[in-house]
Chains A and B, each alone.
Chain A
Amino acid sequence: MSFDLECRNLTKRFGGTTAVDDVSFDVPSGSFFSILGPSGCGKTTIMRMIAGFLEPSSGDILIRGKSVLDVSPNKRPVNMVFQHLALFPMMNIAENIGYGLRRQGMAKAQIAVKVDEALDRIGLPGIGTRKIDELSGGQKQRVAIARCMVLEPDVLLLDEPLGALDLKLRERMKVELKALQAAFDTTFVYITHDQSEALVMSDTIAVMNEGRFEQMGSGRDLYYRPASAFVAGFVGDSNRWAGRVERAEGNVMQVRTESGLSMRASAHDRAMGVGDAAQIFVRPEAIRISTAADDLAHFDNHLSGRVTNLLFNGAASRIVVAADAEEIEVNLPQSGEFAALSEGDAVHIGWAGDQGNCFAAGSAP
């Protein structure tokens, strides 16, 4: 496998704080790689180092196997789609897309051809003479990508480019970006704090927190097999409890939560033992509801309680169940069998022990 981008022990310190702490990763050619993390986790710093706007404190960045640390940003074979796109307002669309080609000294006629090709490719033929502010948000997005792609970079960096768009458009652009990546067959490195953007588009996602990568893997891995409590909490929604391990049998942990509830969860090969402080994450869709307690008898964990809140949200509707001094969010099955449920109704809920992810919570309770 060949790699378009390799980062080796990348570290960046600003004064006393370490923004990026010894991060290494490889991005295979032609893949869509995302760095997902909350704001301030250091993901923008990594991107700016790759683009050449920041110098790493230590470590190396290789593009197609060659170190680019000594290459100035205007010579690096990477291009960047900026957070606010940074389209040049003083130029029209064709001039924007042709900007980089002009810098390479390409002949005018040839630039015109390339620009037209690019416009065709992004599905906006014939708009070259229009002004930037005449475009919609999604069109600007595509122009910003085309502006980089005409230069045929080895790696395209995208810095949360969907952040400024409204929800509907964002959903559409996710699909479109993925399609554009496939069409251009270029390596994309995408940073975002929005898990759904990362999950939908990426081949590989790195979850970043406080300057380090917590986990790197496919969206499916991150969602179902989070490697740390942070990833479990950050990717997707979860019910979470803190407690202490009372019994451990292989991967099966019996944990008593702070409020006294006892439940089973899986350590998924993480080393844990009796007496350890633990954090448990259970996804709302992993929990079943029933009106009869017997239906749930086969689950390791079952509780009875009352519906305290109905959160109707179409296919993603949930209820909040109060049981034994805990409030638990549960997804309603999409079959509609519980559509008539109302607040105050008694329900039974249950889930399998291996649906609960159990992590050691350090020394704290």
Chain B
Amino acid sequence: MKSGARLGLMLLLAPLLLWLILLILIPHVDMFLVSLRERVGVGEYRISLANYLTFFQEPLYLWTFLRTAVMSILATLITLLIAFPVSYFIAKIARGRSRSALFLLCLVPFWVSELVRTFGWMILLRETGIISNLLQWAGLVSGPVEMLYNDAAIMVGLVYTSMLFMVVPLVTTLESLPDEVIEAGYDLGGTNTSVMREIVIPHAAPGIVSGSIVVFMLSLGNYLTPTMLGGKDSLWFTELIYSQFIVRFNWELGAAFGFMLLLLSSLIVWGMLRLTGQTLERTMG
């Protein structure tokens, strides 16, 4: 019996370890090692920090990196601000059938590819697009307006694309807050704002954190939205990685960029967890 249990453990452990070691651990270690290589001749490499030096010395790279980080944080905040009231409405105000219907309605857009969603915004925002036409028709502007290819368009795309990943964890945590507790808050003299601040938001903290982490990650690692909505000069860090790998074929520098992106995302996720006293298991698992 004991050896049987042991065998079972081994059998179940094998796929997990194969997956994590072969597809996650070794590739990332390898990527890091490649990022430390410097090409000194044809097929000749040596270990150095040259790629990282390039990253820090080239203002365009560093600027793009910081810009991506700041815009991703901003996108996360905006998504949270927009999603919270809606999630609260679904979880605590809508009842029965209409609650599930609204929740489902939130999910629907995300069953289709991000590409389709982005495409939709392009049709809306571009010079010959719906909104431009609408504004002309209403007489608010005299000629076509280009609303694509700027940071605001990127932000709209990022927020739209990430919305689901904020709404779902928020609705889930808010639903788990009994009405009774909210009523108790009012019964003891609380007002809308104080109940929100002292009861609802602290209760929703795990959902806020996990939603924010996911939205931040998705924004930071997004390639499609900045490229399509931001145009050629959108300066998103993933575009740099792509061009190093696929266009310039400079894998060493690309790997260094990849590692920097990984480092940044890990730092921010870790910081967010620390700041709110949450753990990865609780927020993700």
Contact = CB atoms under 8 A, between A and B. Distances in A.
The answer to whether A and B touch in the complex, with CB atoms under 8 Å apart, is: yes
Given A73-B183, A84-B178, A90 B202 contact: yes
Contacts of A80: 183-184, 187
Interface string A136-177: 000000000001100100000000000000000000000000
A95 to B, nearest CB: 9
B140 interface: no
Contacts of B183: 51, 53, 73, 80, 82, 86
B199 interface: yes
Interface string B174-214: 00001011011111111100100011001101000000000
Contacts of B185: 88, 99
A298 interface: no
A51 B187 contact: yes
Given A74-B191, A84-B178, A90 B184 contact: no
B188 A147 contact: yes
Contact of A79 (B188, B194, B199): B188
Given A86-B178, A88-B181, A104 B189 contact: yes
Q: Interface on chain B toward A: helix, strand, loop, or mixed SS?
A: helix
A84 B180 contact: yes
A87 B202 CA distance: 14
A312 B194 CA distance: 56
Nearest to A51: B187
A82 to B, nearest CB: 5
Contacts of A74: 186-191
B203 A89 contact: yes
Contacts of B188: 74, 79, 99-100, 103, 147-148, 151
A99 B183 CA distance: 13
Nearest to A80: B187
Contacts of B184: 80, 82, 86-88
A167 to B, nearest CB: 24
A9 interface: no
A20 B51 CA distance: 77
Chain A interface size, under 10 / 10 to 19 / 20 to 34 / 35 or more: 20 to 34
A241 to B, nearest CB: 43
B190 A103 contact: yes
Contacts of A83: 180
A73 B194 contact: no
Interface string A93-125: 000000110011000000000000000000000
Interface string B150-179: 000000000000000000000000000010
Contacts of A100: 188-189
A90 B189 contact: no
Contact of B187 (A79, A84, A104): A79
A100 B190 CA distance: 7
B194 A86 contact: no
Interface in B92-130: none
Contacts of B187: 51-52, 73-74, 76, 78-80
Interface string B76-101: 00000000000000000000000000
A103 B194 contact: yes
A148 B183 CA distance: 13
B180 A82 contact: yes
A73 B186 contact: yes
A90 B180 contact: no
Nearest to B184: A86
B198 to A, nearest CB: 7
B149 to A, nearest CB: 45
Contacts of B198: 88, 90-91, 99
Contacts of A51: 183, 187
A79 B183 CA distance: 11
Contacts of A82: 180, 183-184
Nearest to B199: A88
A78 B203 CA distance: 25
B84 to A, nearest CB: 17
B75 to A, nearest CB: 28
A88 B185 CA distance: 8
Nearest to A150: B188
A52 B181 CA distance: 15
A151 B189 contact: yes
Interface in A332-352: none
B46 to A, nearest CB: 55
A87 B194 CA distance: 16
Contacts of A53: 183
Counting chain A CB atoms within 10 Å of each CB, the highest count among B186, B191, B194 belongs to: B186
Interface in B239-284: none
Q: Which of B181, B188, B190 has the most CB of A within 10 A?
A: B188
Contacts of B180: 82-84, 86
Nearest to B181: A86
A90 B190 contact: no
A78 B199 CA distance: 20
Nearest to A83: B180
A84 to B, nearest CB: 6
A75 B183 CA distance: 13
A115 to B, nearest CB: 13
Interface of A: 51-53, 72-76, 78-80, 82-84, 86-91, 99-100, 103-104, 147-148, 151
Given A72-B186, A90-B198, A90-B203, 13 more contacts: A52-B187, A73-B186, A74-B186, A74-B188, A74-B190, A74-B191, A80-B183, A80-B187, A86-B178, A88-B198, A90-B202, A90-B205, A99-B185
Interface of B: 178, 180-181, 183-191, 194, 198-199, 202-203, 205
11 contacts: A51-B187, A74-B190, A80-B187, A84-B178, A86-B181, A88-B199, A99-B188, A99-B190, A103-B190, A103-B191, A103-B194
What 4 pairs between A and B have smallest CB-CB spacing?
A: A103-B189, A100-B188, A90-B202, A86-B184
